[in-house]
C-alpha cells in the first residue's frame, strides 16, 4: 500500500515533470555552473584561486557581482576596487564564491510572478540568510557530520520549489500563501492540502535532474520534516530546518510561512546528545549568526534586516510546537529584556 510520504513524492515527481516540459525555461546546469558548485562544496584551502578567477572573468555578470560586493558599504574602504583579484583579497575567497553562487542561481532560475506576500528579491534575501546560517552550523567546532559547503547549497536552494510552484501554478500557490498567513501555519502544510505535496519535494526532484549530490537533495526534500528523512540524511535536513528558523528570526526577506517556529521544537533542538542542543551554546550561536546576517544582508542582497526592535515585536507571533508538547511558548517582554532573553524564550528556556 502506498504510504502518505510516497504519495507526496509521486505527486512531486509529476509536478516536476510538468515543470520540466512546460513553457517554463529551466535550463540544465552549464559546465561553469557545475565547476562552481564543486567549489562551493570544497573547503577554502583546497580551492585554486586561479581556477575560480578564470570561471568568473569569462562571465561579465559574475564579475560585476563580486566587484559590487567588494565596493559595498560592508566591505568598502577608501579605494575603489576595479580588479577581480583585489576584490577577492578584500572580501575573501569564501565570500566571493558564495556571492557568485547566489548570483548564478538568481540568473538560472525563472523570475517569480507578482504574488501578494512573495517577491523574488525577498525570496533570494531569505535564501541567502538561510544558506549563511546553515554554513555556520557546519563549522567543525559544532562536530556535525555535514560539510559547510553542502549545508550552504541546501540552505540556498531549500525554497527553490516555491519559485517553481509559483511559476507553474500561481493561483494555487497564492492560495497556499494566504492560508499560511491567515491560519498561522507552516506553508508546507498548506501545500500538502492544496497540491498533495510540498515545495521541498518538488525542489529536490529538480535538483536530482541537475545531478546535485544525493545528501543535498535529501536535505532540501526533508528540511520541513527531518524526522521523516532516511536516517543518513536526517542531520543535513535537521540543520537546514534549524538554519531556516534562524533566517526567519533575522527578519531578512520573506519565506512565505505564516508563523515563527521556536528553535527548541526543531529536530536538532530535540537531539540532547549534540552540542547544538545545549542551551548556552545555542544562545551564543544564534546571537553570532543573527549579528552576521544583520551586518551583511544589505550589502549582499540589497535587503536590510528588520530593525532589532521591530524584529523582536514581530517575533510575538503564534509559534509552532510539536503535538507531543502543547505548552505555549513563553512570552518575553522584548523591549525590557532584550535580544538574549528573547533568544532564550525561543530555545524553550525561562
pLDDT digits (tens, 9 = 90+) for 267-316: 999 998 999 888 899 999 999 999 999 999 999 999 998 754 444 444 44
pLDDT at 243 over 90: yes
Percent of the chain with pLDDT over 70: 85
Query: What pLDDT score was predicted for residue 336?
Result: 39
Terminal CA-CA length for the chain: 45
Is 307 in contact with 301 (CB distance < 8 Å)? no
Residue 286 near residue 263 (C-beta atoms within 8 A): yes
Global pTM?
Answer: 0.85
**Cα 242–Cα 259–Cα 169 angle in degrees, nearest 5:** 95
**The C-alpha cell of 202 is what?**
518538488
- At 333 the three-state DSSP class reads coil
Q: How far apart are CA 281 and CA 338, in angstroms?
A: 18
Please, how many CA atoms are within 13 Å of residue 14, restricted to the half-sphere of its CB? 10
Residue 63 CB burial class (10 angstroms; 0-12, 13-18, ≥19): middle
User: Residue 152's pLDDT band (boundaries 50, 70, 90)?
Assistant: very high
At residue 279's C-alpha, the angle toward residues 275 and 285, to 5°, is 70
The CATH superfamily of 4-25+111-304 is Hypothetical protein af1432 (1.10.3210.10)
- Please determine, for residue 58, whether its predicted confidence score (pLDDT) is greater than 60: yes
Q: CB burial class (10 A; 0-12, 13-18, 19+) of residue 288?
A: exposed
Quick one: pLDDT band at residue 125, thresholds 50, 70, 90?
Answer: very high
| Segments making up each domain of the chain, as ranges | 4-25+111-304, 27-108
Q: Give the pLDDT band (50/70/90) at residue 328.
A: very low
Percent of the chain with pLDDT over 90: 60
pLDDT average, residue stretch 101-123: 86
Amino acid at each position: 500500500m502506498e504510504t502518505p510520504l510516497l504519495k507526496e513524492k509521486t505527486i512531486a515527481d509529476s509536478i516536476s515533470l510538468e515543470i520540466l516540459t512546460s513553457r517554463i525555461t529551466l535550463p540544465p546546469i552549464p559546465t561553469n555552473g557545475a565547476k562552481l558548485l564543486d567549489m562551493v562544496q570544497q573547503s577554502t584551502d583546497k580551492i585554486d584561486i586561479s581556477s575560480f578567477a578564470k570561471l568568473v572573468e569569462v562571465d561579465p555578470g559574475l564579475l560585476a557581482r563580486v566587484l559590487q560586493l567588494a565596493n559595498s558599504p560592508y566591505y568598502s574602504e577608501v579605494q575603489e576596487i576595479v580588479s577581480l583579484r583585489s576584490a577577492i583579497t578584500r572580501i575573501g575567497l569564501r565570500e566571493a564564491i558564495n556571492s557568485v553562487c547566489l548570483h548564478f542561481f538568481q540568473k538560472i532560475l525563472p523570475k517569480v510572478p507578482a504574488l501578494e506576500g512573495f517577491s523574488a528579491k525577498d525570496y533570494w534575501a531569505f535564501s541567502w540568510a538561510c544558506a549563511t546560517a546553515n554554513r555556520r552550523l557546519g563549522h567543525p567546532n559544532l562536530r556535525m557530520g555535514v560539510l559547510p559547503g553542502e549545508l550552504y547549497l541546501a540552505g540556498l536552494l531549500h525554497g527553490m520549489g516555491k519559485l517553481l510552484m509559483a511559476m507553474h501554478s500561481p493561483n494555487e500557490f497564492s492560495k497556499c500563501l494566504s492560508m499560511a498567513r491567515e491560519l498561522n501555519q507552516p506553508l508546507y502544510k498548506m501545500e500538502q492540502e492544496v497540491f498533495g505535496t510540498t515545495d521541498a519535494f518538488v525542489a529536490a526532484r529538480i535538483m536530482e535532474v541537475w545531478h546535485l549530490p544525493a545528501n543535498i537533495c535529501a536535505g532540501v526534500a526533508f528540511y520541513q520534516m527531518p524526522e521523516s528523512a532516511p536516517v543518513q540524511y536526517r542531520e543535513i535536513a535537521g540543520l537546514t530546518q534549524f538554519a531556516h528558523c534562524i533566517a526567519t528570526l533575522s527578519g531578512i526577506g520573506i519565506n512565505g510561512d505564516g508563523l515563527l517556529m521556536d528553535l527548541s521544537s526543531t529536530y536538532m533542538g530535540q537531539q540532547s546528545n549534540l552540542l547544538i542542543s545545549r542551551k548556552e551554546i545555542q544562545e551564543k550561536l544564534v546571537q553570532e549568526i543573527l549579528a552576521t546576517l544583520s551586518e551583511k544582508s544589505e550589502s549582499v542582497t540589497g535587503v536590510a534586516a528588520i530593525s532589532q526592535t521591530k524584529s523582536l515585536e514581530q517575533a510575538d507571533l503564534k509559534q509552532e510546537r510539536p503535538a507531543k508538547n502543547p505548552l505555549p511558548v513563553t512570552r518575553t517582554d522584548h523591549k525590557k529584556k532584550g535580544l538574549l532573553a528573547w533568544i532564550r524564550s525561543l530555545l524553550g528556556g525561562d
